[in-house]
Amino acid sequence: MDETPTSRMLSWARNSTIYRLERRMMTEKQLFDAIARKAKQKFEDISDAQIKALADFAVKFAYELKVLDDVVYAEISTRSAARSGKSKKAIAFKLASKGIHSETVVAAVEEVDDLHAAVIFARKRGFGPFRRGDLDEKFIAKNLIALSAKRARRVPHIAALIQNDAVVF
């Protein structure tokens, strides 16, 4: 069997790349994985070498169109996550899981302020000065347990907000 993709496969890869990148921004790894996964489904008797060649072709095609850039993706995702109250560690983990190189991740999360993210998170959850209702020991214990279970990276900042009712920028 021939190891190079057919012209029909390449045409499909081009169209699929355009369609995917029109709908949402992707990283190089996400595009590669998506094209490879769909190529296995679409084409019968396709070899692993052809799948890899199709995915590589799709990534190269996206770079030629200048619609694929992991650095820009990391910057945009970092700003969005910081605005929604995510910590540096959470943002870095999410970017790394999407296939962004570690140097790019470090550069992207460099400007994120964990205290500011903790304040945004506290506002969203109604902690500390953003509390909706009376403060009692049961409320504090319940929320600290929830925080330690789900958001352990923010506990020092959030715990200070809950107990002191103080927000300092």
pLDDT in tens, 11-48: 999 999 999 999 999 999 999 999 999 999 999 889 99
| Maximum C-alpha span of the chain | 72
| Tens digits of residue pLDDT in 95-122 | 999 999 999 999 999 988 888 888 888 8
Same domain, 129 and 86: no
Q: Tell me if 70 sits within 8 A of 76, measured CB to CB.
A: no
- Same domain for 128 and 153, yes or no, is yes
Q: Does the model's pTM come out above 0.85?
A: no
- Same domain (yes/no): 31, 14: yes
Structural domain span for residue 103: 70-109
Go through the chain and tell me how many residues it has: 169
Q: pLDDT tens across 49-71, in order?
A: 999 999 999 999 999 999 999 99
